Structure 1
Amino acid sequence: MNRKIVIPIVIVISLLFAASVFVGGVVVGTVLEKHRAELYAQSFPSIDKVAELLNIINHAYVEQVPTEKLIDGAVRGMIEALDDPFSHYMDRKHFDMFQEQTSGHFDGVGIELSQSKDKQLMVYMPIEGTPAYKAGIKAGDIIIKVNNKSTEKMGLDEAVKLIRGKRGTTVTLTIHREGVKEPLVFKLVREQIKIPNVFSKKIDDDIGYIRLHEFNEDTTNDIKSQVDKLKSQHVKGLILDLRNNPGGLLEEAVGLASLWIDSGPIVGIKSRSGNIESREALGGADTKTPLVVLVNKGSASASEIVSGALQDYGRAVVVGETTFGKASVQTVVNLEDGSAVLLTTDKYLTPKGRMIHKKGIKPDVVVKFDRKAAKDNQLDKATEIVRELISGKRKLSAAS
């Protein structure tokens, strides 16, 4: 049985896969070698057993079941048999959402949706700068119609499908707003919407703070833009917050670490044959500005690649709690029908060869988060350490 295997140009390192409007938590990387793709195309005699059972069910089962449903179930069963929490089968719908999440943008009007307690379609938040935000749509607004179609009993998936569309086209939303007697009608022109992923601010006028939610296609450029902006405001040190960052694109992890590591390997990718492929720093790094990286047990995969590399080279002080400990790489394999498999294909090592799977990255300065504190005690400690680096009171040192 010869099947066409399509190998994409992305590889993923993920903490988890969630089927929701936004899908998060993966690290995606490179194309598999050609000979590995050819191996995938080999036939297996035992596949006849699956075909035989499929034929029996189609002809003898007491009720008619769609063939596609049975095949999907067989594929899911094979992936579940791996007993690997990071390998997943994605049907077309969830694969589309996965691709959207890792791209970092979509075409629409910029509304994050939720459902109210009585199952009404509610605006959770308009994204700043988008058509919805500019038109005056507010958090808490209830969408009662989309293009004259009632949203009563409409699920989130259907609503998202109706509201999104090709940029330049229009969609009309009819909204009920608390305290306003008559419904409000908004005719919006769809645009490309960038999913908010990076937040930055200044702390006490001389320290820059950057928080990254996950690693998507725009991560390196977005972080560099924020770093440049903060430097133009004369900050003397930086804090990179990777807490609760579940991962994302492998290439973006390499790109981000390369902003501060000028040369040498950022990460080693180890295949099951034992071969190790090194991903090198891209050059042009800032090797001078004092840097602290914040992590916790929710920092995984790409977050651990970045924090592990910066720690190995002694380029930053890592502060917080031991990270999740996920050092496996997932490859996205496209299937013929538009679905895909997210398959664990490799493991990764830090530049010094550390295997952190199920161990995590132990911070240079361990600070347990105090939920009872009025302020963020981990951020306070990171700020204190940046000041010590700026003053020369503390020196950077590489991991041993």
Structure 2
Amino acid sequence: MDSNNGLNQSTEPVMDYNNQVVTGPGSVNNQDGKDTRLTKRFIAGILIGFLASVLVVSTVVLYLLFVGKSAISPVLGLGGRSELISDETLNKIQALEDVIDTYYYKTDVDKQEEANGIYKGLMDSLGDPYSVYYTEEELDEMMNSTKGVYYGIGAYVSFDNTLNMARISGVMPGSPAEAAELCVDDIIYEINKESTQGLSLEEVVGRIKGEAGTTVHLTLVREGSADNVEVDVERAQIEVPTVSTEVFDNGIGYLKITEFDEVTYQQFVEGMAELRAENIEGLIIDLRSNPGGNLATVCDIARQLLPKGIIVYTEDRDGNREDYTCDGEHEIDIPVVVLVNQYSASASEILSGAIKDYGIGTLVGKTTYGKGIVQRIFDLRDGTAVKLTVSSYFTPNGINIHGVGIEPDVEVEYDAEAYAKDKTDTQLDKAKEVMMELLDK
């Protein structure tokens, strides 16, 4: 999704969002030819410097929040002058503004943008890509993205930490992105003929999104293609189907969750009811390229699958712990296989991590992204807000996967060329094979 989500790795979306953005991540495989072309296009010093500045970015920008709008915390009673807000600091800001006003070669400087730059710079100084300042417009856009409707091209965008570039991590069925034949793992080299070098995941997503009916031109680097791929994609209103289902042979049910939005829980319940009506004997849950989403949503879904116990718990900097639990009344009674990849982040890691810890399912695919931290949005009382990382989360077994990810029980590569050729999904095929073994068929 064109997001921030993300995510909800946000993800386009990018949710980490989460949250979403849900946008995510990922190591690069089979990229030798593509990496060589990219390396020639970038100054090594800039690439290395930017790599050092990026800790971990998602989901799918993505934008991975673990809260809904109702959970925005007003900033009250924090008063007092800090060491930062001193006469020296204020004088220096004034001196910088005087220099700009006197010598800058343009005279139409936007003072509000200057102020926004100060606020954003303060958050950037934390060195945490998930702690950000939102203008009023950005806050409204981010909150709307968690509703499951947005305006864009219908592609998930994640950040590749190896190349320091954004790449396509998923394409929504029936979307403009699918019609334009965008492919998973396409590197987004330019947007409207402007380089994406040095842009954050949120900035890339912001440039791709736009009003319905308008067009965005993308320049893509695609594995197996000697030349860049140039494509125009018409934006549209995207109503995000976050859950889809299918029944395979031998009674194998398939349920894919693309992100954890406000609408996702109900879609999950309806999807499971449809599969149960088909008398499925096993369930494949596909969380690949899921950049994350709302914490409450993923916990509600987990309560439809897990035994009694902890789903996830968080700890803040002072060691204060909060448990999210399951009563076990709806523990799943059929074999489960969970598909994950390097773009599965945040909330999707909470679900897959809990399933793995309780031993009720087998994980198949690639090691997940590794976003094990939680953000909260703080209302600044003027229409703006900050999203701040406030705690770490742990799987039921007490594992913090931040920067590490969750290893699958069965590792298998995704063959993008095979899928492009004849829709062969190597990871899904392996998941079916594992399920057949679990069913002893």
Inter-partner Cα distance in structure 1 for 2:172 and 2:23: 25
Shift of the 17–80 alpha-carbon distance from structure 1 to 2, 3 Å rule, reads farther
Of the candidates 426, 430, 433, which is equivalent to residue 384 of structure 1?
A: 433
Inter-partner Cα distance in structure 2 for 1:33 and 1:159: 25
1:263 matched residue in structure 2: 308
Inter-partner Cα distance in structure 1 for 2:301 and 2:262: 11
2:63 matched residue in structure 1: 25
The percent identity for this pair of structures is: 34
Q: Output the amino acid matched with 2:428.
A: L
Inter-partner Cα distance in structure 2 for 1:296 and 1:38: 41
Inter-partner Cα distance in structure 2 for 1:323 and 1:158: 25
Deviations 1:94-127 (A, max 9, x none): 2222111112136x9x9969xxxxxxxxxxx999
Q: Does 1:52 align with 2:91?
A: yes
Shift of the alpha carbon at 1:81?
A: 0.6
Shift of the alpha carbon at 1:306?
A: 0.4
Q: Does 1:96 align with 2:144?
A: no
* Preserved contact between residue 215 and residue 247 of structure 1 (Cα < 8 Å): yes
What are the residue-to-residue correspondences of 1:73-84 with 2, within 5 Å? Answer: 73-84=117-128
Shift of the alpha carbon at 1:344?
A: 1.1
TM-score, normalised with respect to structure 2: 0.62
* Preserved contact between residue 153 and residue 208 of structure 2 (Cα < 8 Å): no
Q: Does 1:341 align with 2:386?
A: yes
Shift of the 298–12 alpha-carbon distance from structure 1 to 2, 3 Å rule, reads closer
* Preserved contact between residue 15 and residue 86 of structure 1 (Cα < 8 Å): no
1:323 matched residue in structure 2: 368
* Preserved contact between residue 153 and residue 238 of structure 2 (Cα < 8 Å): no
Larger-Rg structure: 1
What are the residue-to-residue correspondences of 1:89-238 with 2, within 5 Å? Answer: 89-105=133-149, 160=210, 194-204=239-249, 206-238=251-283
Deviations 1:243-268 (A, max 9, x none): 11111111112112111014211001
Unaligned runs of 5+ in 1: 1-9, 114-124, 134-138, 141-155, 165-191, 394-400
Unaligned runs of 5+ in 2: 1-15, 25-59, 156-170, 181-205, 215-236
* Preserved contact between residue 242 and residue 294 of structure 1 (Cα < 8 Å): yes
Q: Output the amino acid matched with 1:384.
A: E
Shift of the 340–245 alpha-carbon distance from structure 1 to 2, 3 Å rule, reads same
TM-score, normalised with respect to structure 1: 0.68
Q: Output the amino acid matched with 2:435.
A: V
Inter-partner Cα distance in structure 1 for 2:84 and 2:250: 66
Deviations 1:9-59 (A, max 9, x none): x995567659xxx9743132378898x955644432531444434444555
Shift of the alpha carbon at 1:311?
A: 0.6
Shift of the alpha carbon at 1:329?
A: 0.8
Deviations 1:149-181 (A, max 9, x none): xxxxxxx989955889xxxxxxxxxxxxxxxxx
Q: Aligned-residue CA RMSD in angstroms?
A: 3.8
Deviations 1:312-331 (A, max 9, x none): 11111111111111101111
Inter-partner Cα distance in structure 1 for 2:90 and 2:321: 38
> How many equivalent residue pairs?
319
Shift of the alpha carbon at 1:293?
A: 0.5
Q: Output the amino acid matched with 1:79.
A: M
Q: Output the amino acid matched with 1:329.
A: V
